[in-house]
């Protein structure tokens, strides 16, 4: 992983404008941004936002040519990631399962997590996150049989508002995974092992 340190600097002040945002935020909530404990906070705030939105998961999607056995399903599960809810700018943590049926080429294992992180490191809603991941897996693998399932806990629901922890599940089930059959059953057993008695 690499992080970007570049930022817009229209005033040419050599300072990230996010530092000013943080300073204003502190003042707006009645804090003194110049007190000892907060002096470095605007700079830290700017750095974490740049780290989050500049997170570089890499864009190389290595494929291996392989004539897979007819009907083989590849599932990569328990990919943990963090994203940010676009409504409240609060984090949500997600566990993602990605499955596909290779169509002549197989995708390098690490690339599933790279693709998932790439789409998580922007302002999101969970439904769009799974959709974006599924679209890229389809585009890269050339397979119409792609499924993405995410289970997330949203801090905007847990720590504020209704203040109720809950698990949100969202899924995209394309191609063979959209039909009731063995591929879908295998996927569900991997994604939800507790329900199938596997764990």
Ligand X SMILES: Nc1nc2c(ncn2[C@@H]2O[C@H](COP(=O)(O)OP(=O)(O)OP(=O)(O)O)[C@@H](O)[C@H]2O)c(=O)[nH]1
Does the protein bind ligand X through residue 43 (CB under 6 A)?
no
Question: Which of 111, 114, 119, 154 is close enough to bind ligand X by CB under 6 A?
Answer: 154
Task: In whole angstroms, give the CA distance from residue 68 to residue 60.
Answer: 22
Alpha-carbon distance values, 118 to 55, 106, 136 (Å): 8, 20, 10
Does the protein bind ligand X through residue 57 (CB under 6 A)?
no
Does the protein bind ligand X through residue 171 (CB under 6 A)?
no
Does the protein bind ligand X through residue 17 (CB under 6 A)?
no
Between 110 and 149, how does the x/- string for binding to Zn ion read (CB under 5 A)? ----------------------------------------
Residue whose CB is nearest to ligand X in the complex, by number: 161
Q: Give 85 or 149: the residue with its C-beta nearer to Zn ion.
A: 85
Does the protein bind ligand X through residue 87 (CB under 6 A)?
yes
Does the protein bind ligand X through residue 125 (CB under 6 A)?
yes
Q: How wide is the angle at C-alpha 174 spanned by C-alphas 169 and 177, nearest 5°? A: 80
* Candidate segments 24-32, 102-110, 156-164, 170-178, binder of Zn ion by CB under 5 A: 156-164
* Candidate segments 3-11, 107-115, 150-158, 177-185, binder of Zn ion by CB under 5 A: 150-158
Cβ contact 157:99 at 8 Å? no
Q: Give 34 or 86: the residue with its C-beta nearer to Zn ion.
A: 86
Question: Which of 38, 156, 168, 189 is close enough to bind Zn ion by CB under 5 A?
Answer: 156
Alpha-carbon distance values, 170 to 45, 94, 142, 178 (Å): 31, 10, 23, 14
What are the residues binding ligand X (CB under 6 A)? 85, 87, 125-127, 154, 156-157, 161-162
Q: Contact positions toward Zn ion, by CB under 5 A? A: 85, 87-88, 156
């Amino acid at each position: 992983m690499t992080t970007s340190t570049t930022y817009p600097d229209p005033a040419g002040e050599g300072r990230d404008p996010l530092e000013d945002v943080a300073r204003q935020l502190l003042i707006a909530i009645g804090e003194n941004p110049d007190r000892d404990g907060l002096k470095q906070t605007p700079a830290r705030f700017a750095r974490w936002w740049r780290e989050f939105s500049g997170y570089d998961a890499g864009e190389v999607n290595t494929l291996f040519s392989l004539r897979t056995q007819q009907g083989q399903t590849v599932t990569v599960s328990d990919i943990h990631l963090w994203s940010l809810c676009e409504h409240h700018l609060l984090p949500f943590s997600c566990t993602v399962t990605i499955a596909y049926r290779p169509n002549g080429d197989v995708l390098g294992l690490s690339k599933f997590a790279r693709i998932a992180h790439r789409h998580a490191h922007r302002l999101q809603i969970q439904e769009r996150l799974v959709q974006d991941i599924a679209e890229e897996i389809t585009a890269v693998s050339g397979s119409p049989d792609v499924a993405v399932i995410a289970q997330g806990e949203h801090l905007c629901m847990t720590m504020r508002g209704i203040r109720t922890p809950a698990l949100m599940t969202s899924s995209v089930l394309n191609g063979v995974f959209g039909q009731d059959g063995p591929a879908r059953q295998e996927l569900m057993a991997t994604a939800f092992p507790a329900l199938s008695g596997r764990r």
